[in-house]
């Protein structure tokens, strides 16, 4: 047995013999990849660099819009970039690291505590891109499913909006106004489905680019009651938008991609 196979069997033996809850946690390897791999950083940097190369063409072409919700005479509207926040601009993997290491699970209370800490770091490439947009007088607007309500953590009288603005400032995105962050539940009809918020923005701005880590950051009705095959079809139908008007950031930990799968999820694995 050569050294390569010895190392593989040794690793497998350690995982099995330890009986560790970490090895059983579905997010362990995904989180490890996000926090340690150069490949993750290369993916996010690549997305933002590509967007930066396309922005001048987007600004010159008055008919250019990235939003399906944009209709009517939008050609003279000022340009805007619309971005998700979590795992698109702010990296919350330390929160998930605590969940994994303590063999816990996501809860509203612990999430509120995390938002209050304002400790999320920046997704590689995001801050530089946002500040470049500001230099070009492009409005940056955030659509997030962080919630518009008081934090639930004991003794913390804060809003997630205020905590988010302060966290963005800490990573280098200063001067974000409350009206530039559209949160879940902030207005009637603003559900986790983001279409209504894109519609709201499209009446005031020409949306030239969309950024997110979930298909729902780009398209409506893709987060429930849909099959993986139907989502694949939508990706193919919109192939000319990816890397030009739409920019997807990697997130293997959570999202509608896993929520739409039925149990047992093992049925979706392909084998030879």
Tokens, residue 204: 């005031």
- pLDDT value for 159: 87
Cβ neighbours of residue 135 closer than 8 Å, sequence gap 6 or more: none
| Mean pLDDT for all residues in the chain | 90
Q: Give the mean model confidence (pLDDT) for residues 241-262.
A: 97
Confidence of residue 24 (pLDDT cuts 50, 70, 90): low
Q: Give the mean model confidence (pLDDT) for residues 57-74.
A: 97
Domains recognised in the chain with CATH numbers: 20-252 (3.40.50.1000)
Contact call for residues 218 and 257 (beta carbons, < 8 A): no
Q: Report the alpha-carbon distance of residue 58 to residue 65 in Å, rounded.
A: 8
- Note the pLDDT tens digit of each residue in 157-186: 568 999 999 999 999 999 999 999 999 999
Q: How would you class 110 by CB atoms within 10 Å of its CB: exposed for 0-12, middle for 13-18, buried for 19 or more? A: middle
- pLDDT value for 18: 38
Q: Give the mean model confidence (pLDDT) for residues 103-108.
A: 91
- pLDDT value for 217: 98
264 preceded by cis ω (within 30°)?
A: yes
- Note the pLDDT tens digit of each residue in 144-162: 999 986 444 444 456 899 9
Q: Report the alpha-carbon distance of residue 41 to residue 34 in Å, rounded.
A: 8
Cβ neighbours of residue 53 closer than 8 Å, sequence gap 6 or more: none
Q: Closest Cα to residue 171, out of 128, 115, 234? A: 128
Most confidently modeled range among 20-24, 186-190, 244-248: 244-248
DSSP 251: -
């Amino acid at each position: 047995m050569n050294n390569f196979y010895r190392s593989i069997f040794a690793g497998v033996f350690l995982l099995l013999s330890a009986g560790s809850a970490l090895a059983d946690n579905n997010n362990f390897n995904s989180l490890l990849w996000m926090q340690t791999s150069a490949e993750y950083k290369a993916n996010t940097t690549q997305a933002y660099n590509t967007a930066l190369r396309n922005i001048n063409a987007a600004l010159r072409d008055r008919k250019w819009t990235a939003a399906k919700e944009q209709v009517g005479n939008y050609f003279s509207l000022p340009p805007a970039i619309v971005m998700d926040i979590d795992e698109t601009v702010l990296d919350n993997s330390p929160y998930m690291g605590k969940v994994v290491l303590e063999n816990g699970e996501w809860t509203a209370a612990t999430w509120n505590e995390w938002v209050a800490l304002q400790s999320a770091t920046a997704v590689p490439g995001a801050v530089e891109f946002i500040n470049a947009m500001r230099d070009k007088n492009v409005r940056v607007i955030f659509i997030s499913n962080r919630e518009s309500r008081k934090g639930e953590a004991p003794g913390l009288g804060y809003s997630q909006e205020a905590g988010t603005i302060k966290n963005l400032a800490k990573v280098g995105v200063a001067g974000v106004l409350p009206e530039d962050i559209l949160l879940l539940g902030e207005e009637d009809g603003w559900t986790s489905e983001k279409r209504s918020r894109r519609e709201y923005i499209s009446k005031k701005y020409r949306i030239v680019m969309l950024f997110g880590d979930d298909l729902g950051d780009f398209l409506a009705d893709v987060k429930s009651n849909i099959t993986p095959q139907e989502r694949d079809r939508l990706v193919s139908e919109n192939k000319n938008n990816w890397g030009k008007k739409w920019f997807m950031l990697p997130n293997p930990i959570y999202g509608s991609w896993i929520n739409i799968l039925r149990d047992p999820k093992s049925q979706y694995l392909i084998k030879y």
